[in-house]
Amino acid sequence: MATVVNVEQVAVEKAEDQYANFIASLAEKAKTSRIFLRYKVLDTFLHLDSYPGPNGIPFHVRDAKLSLISFDKSGNLTLTPDIKEHEIALKVDMDSSRQIFIVENITPKVIRIFGGLWNVDPQFFLDYIDAVPSEMDITKEVTPPRPDLIPTAWYRHQAVEGCLPILKSMSTRYDHVSFRFVGPREYKREDSCKVLERMKPDMKELNVERIAGLHVPITRKLGRGGRQFDNVAMTRHCSSIWFKQPDDSTHSEWTKAVILIDPPFEPEDGENMYGTRADSAYRSFICRPLPNEGSDFHPLVVTQAVARIIASEWISTSAYIERDLNTLEWRLENDEPGMIILESFLKKLFILRRQIRKYQGLVDEQSQLFRKYLPHAWITTYSPTTEKARAYMEGDFEQVRSTILDNAARLSDTLGLVTSMIQIRKGEQSAKQNDRLSFLTVIATVVLPSNALAAILGSGCITWGKYMQSRNEG
């Protein structure tokens, strides 16, 4: 038994080295062609546990959290949670049996193992890491925790080639899909002190750097006091799904799958600075199976479970934005906000408009993916169950898209209202200033002639007596 384990371990280590060398060769080509520049990201990540950091010490890499779903020939599944990285070699079946590995907080070793054993397309891991090399980031003002792994910007302008999307016709040729989405998490804190809105990730907990912006909800005043809702971390997440398709005629369906997901976002000194993080806030989508529903393990059916989580996160994100719009409209209806408050509302609406436009673009992209840009290898076989799964995913993301469009329309109306109120306030201020000027004009009209005559006669240049004396003497 020990001999078998040693042989398997040696085979796994050999596959790791081969895959790492393959990625290194692609990254080396970046010196002569910028087409290969992105592979520097994956090459850097694969060596995080060995390259020295800024202080000469290798970067801290936290162990990944792995779970395995195995299927027998009858379709019955077995869940094996909490697999250690050194146990992967024992859990992987190289035959035609179906296995799904769910990986949270991916590590260099996991990439090397799966990539080497199953010949995974490097683009699968690149899409999940969602970063660019330092050469593509020309406007960063703050040094990131890992200088060669810059998270892809959503709003800030990087070098153009760092923001170019993949052509839709090319995405259908891959054997994986990737999703970028926002996962909101509330942070409960007793006091309401001001905190940094750009939350720094705790890289001792996260192996892949993610960006989170702190969403500070608009305060709704109640009577003389006011109620402040809990702050919300709007974290940019990514999830990727890969299926190993048949490479020979011995079997005609997928055999292995890898699902990459992010761990919960952890900010630096999060407990002291931001408070206690709450769980996800969305409606449960776990339901009882329908009669005669049967079981199908098509890639679309497996993907549907992940897609429901992502759609639920999007709906939760839209709900927080809708609450802000409700609060702002309530304030406009019940308060008499001055110029300072109105200008703060205007700035808040500008920020929300920028976010909504980005969210709408991402949701449109994901909705189109299920409609007509799924990998060809996933849809070569037809079954009623898979078509239902596709239709359900389209419907879920159409629901998400509808909520985002509703918020966008409300925001546009509210933005116009706030702008009009600012113009009215400025008009009132101008009218008051004009009234003061009119009053001063009247005062000046009445008083100025007497003052002017007195000033002339009292100037001391020529007095009346001297004038008459000069005439008599003349």
pLDDT band at 109 (very low <50, low <70, confident <90, very high): very high
pLDDT confidence of residue 251: 47
pLDDT confidence of residue 177: 92
Answer yes or no: is pLDDT of 178 > 90: yes
396-411 burial, b for 16+ CB within 10 Å, e for fewer?
bbeebbebbeebbebb
Kindly state the average pLDDT of the residues 220-246: 81
pLDDT confidence of residue 134: 78
Kindly state the average pLDDT of the residues 402-411: 96
pLDDT confidence of residue 346: 92
Is residue 85 a contact partner of residue 8, using CB atoms and an 8 Å limit? no
- Tokens 């003497």, residue located: 473
pLDDT confidence of residue 11: 81
| pLDDT, tens digit, 9 for 90 and up, residues 263-320 | 988 888 777 788 888 777 766 666 655 555 555 678 888 899 899 999 999 999 999 9
Cα 370 from Cα 389, distance rounded (Å) = 10
How far from 71 is each of 68, 95, 97, 255, CA to CA, in Å?
10, 12, 7, 10
- The two tokens of residue 325 are 């719009």
- Is 0.85 surpassed by the pTM of this model? no
pLDDT confidence of residue 250: 46
Kindly state the average pLDDT of the residues 399-417: 94
Question: Which of 55-59, 321-325, 428-432: highest mean pLDDT?
Answer: 321-325
pLDDT confidence of residue 328: 92
With 0-12 / 13-18 / 19 or more C-beta atoms within 10 angstroms meaning exposed / middle / buried, residue 428 is exposed
pLDDT confidence of residue 50: 73
Cα 268 from Cα 206, distance rounded (Å) = 11
pLDDT band at 160 (very low <50, low <70, confident <90, very high): confident
What percent of the chain stands above pLDDT 70? Answer: 77
Kindly state the average pLDDT of the residues 5-16: 79
DSSP 58: B
pLDDT confidence of residue 249: 45
How far from 117 is each of 17, 92, 122, 173, CA to CA, in Å?
11, 9, 13, 21
With 0-12 / 13-18 / 19 or more C-beta atoms within 10 angstroms meaning exposed / middle / buried, residue 451 is exposed
Kindly state the average pLDDT of the residues 324-344: 88
Integer-rounded Cα radius of gyration of the chain: 33
Is residue 69 a contact partner of residue 100, using CB atoms and an 8 Å limit? yes
Q: 457 or 64, which is more confident?
A: 64
Q: 251 or 72, which is more confident?
A: 72
pLDDT confidence of residue 143: 63
DSSP run (H or E) holding 222: strand 220-222
